[in-house]
Each structure stands twice: as C-alpha cells, then as structure tokens.
Chain A
C-alpha cells in the first residue's frame, strides 16, 4: 500500500535560518500533498498543499516543491521564527478517490531557537 517517508524526525534551527523537511511517497497515483502543522496540545492544521499538476507553491514564508518523477516533495520555511516551532506532518492522497484517505509521514519536530 501507499507509504510516506518523512525526514528528518527532528530539526533544530536558529531563528532567521531556513528549515527544509522532505517526504517521499510510494504510490505514483497520489496527486494531492498537504502539509500540516501541529502545535502543542492542538490538532494538526493545514498550512499549505500542492497538487500534482504544480511543481511549486508559495505562501509568504512557506513553500512546497514537488518532484513527481522522483516521487518526493518538500516543505521550505524561510526566516524561521520561534512560533514556527511545532510538529510538521506531510501527507499524500489520491484526490480523485472518494475515500480521500490521507497517508501521513512520521512527523518532524521543528525547534526554532531564539
């Protein structure tokens, strides 16, 4: 079945630096790739997503890139701030599927040091 691998599991950066989290997926039929941010004591919240007909998407300080050939996608956070500290999850799904099942990566704990 579909599998999503996420790296690294933990990431520590200095405030103002960039952070990059990478995911690979196994099912070539996957065409929807969301990223979720989970703050302490809260549920995951969608921060950005990308569909397979797009190679890159940007929203202020966050961007996601997708390489369909290599079956991997990445989250880029620039000018990191302490409030970016959280657990980040990537996910993949087949958008045309009614089940809408999201397969999640293992999560990355990002720590931004002031």
Chain B
C-alpha cells in the first residue's frame, strides 16, 4: 500500500530535550516536505527536499532541522524544543513531475 508513515503519532516532551520525528514514504517520490498545522493558520511549510541531499527552508524553519540521506526518509529534528513548537506536524511527499501531495497521518507534539 502506497503511504507516508510518520512516527511517533503522539509525543510529549520537555523544553530543550532533542527529538526526532521520522517520516518514510514507499512511493519513490523525489519531493518530501514537512508542515505544521496550528488553529486558524492552516498548514505552513517548515522544510522541503527535492531529492537526496537537497533540502531548503519553507516558511517557518526556525528551530527545526531536516536531513535527506535516503530517498524514502525525511526526518524532522528539533534540537532544543520550545513550547511554541507545540503543534500538529505532517510529512508529505510527491513526484517532482506531479502536483498531488500525499500526507502522513500526523504527529501531535506537546512541549512542556
């Protein structure tokens, strides 16, 4: 089954404790992206990657890092989480030649 898999689905952590949210897709998509969803703000892009070892900032990259060492994986790293990073996070992927993006089920993060 074609899918985008995020882990964990739920995470509660404390300020300053490094964490990683994993994202994996099995569709051989070149493009992968991370979004955060906040009430009244819709989904905002954090980082995106157009292929292996190619990453770039989205609209709200501060406080986040990403890496793309393999085509299927695109982890989101919070080196020192802060409470304003409490949000619902989505990973997405698509073929570069297509516009349709496929989303993971989401990771709800709470930073205390």
The reply to whether chain A is a binding partner of chain B is yes
Contact of A89 with B42 in the complex, beta carbons under 8 Å: yes
Contact of A102 with B45 in the complex, beta carbons under 8 Å: yes
Chain B residues at the A interface, C-beta cutoff of 8 Å: 4, 31, 35, 40-45, 48, 50, 56, 58-59, 90, 92, 94, 96, 99-101, 103-106
Which residues of A from 2 to 27 have beta carbons under 8 Å from B? 4, 6, 9
Which residue among A9, A49, A95, A100 has the maximum number of chain B CB atoms within 10 Å of its CB? A100
Contact of A104 with B99 in the complex, beta carbons under 8 Å: no
Interface string of A32-67 (1 = CB under 8 A from B): 101010000111111001000000000000000000
Known contacts A100-B94, A100-B96; A43 and B58 CB within 8 A of each other: no
Q: How far is the CB of A73 from chain B (nearest CB, A)?
A: 15
Chain A residues at the B interface, C-beta cutoff of 8 Å: 1, 4, 6, 9, 32, 34, 36, 41-46, 49, 89, 93, 95, 98-102, 104-107
User: How far, in angstroms, from A44 to B31 measured CA to CA in the complex?
Assistant: 17
Q: How far is the CB of A98 from chain B (nearest CB, A)?
A: 6
List 10 interface pairs A-B (beta carbons < 8 Å), by A numbering: A9-B40, A34-B100, A34-B101, A43-B103, A44-B43, A45-B103, A89-B43, A101-B45, A104-B44, A106-B42
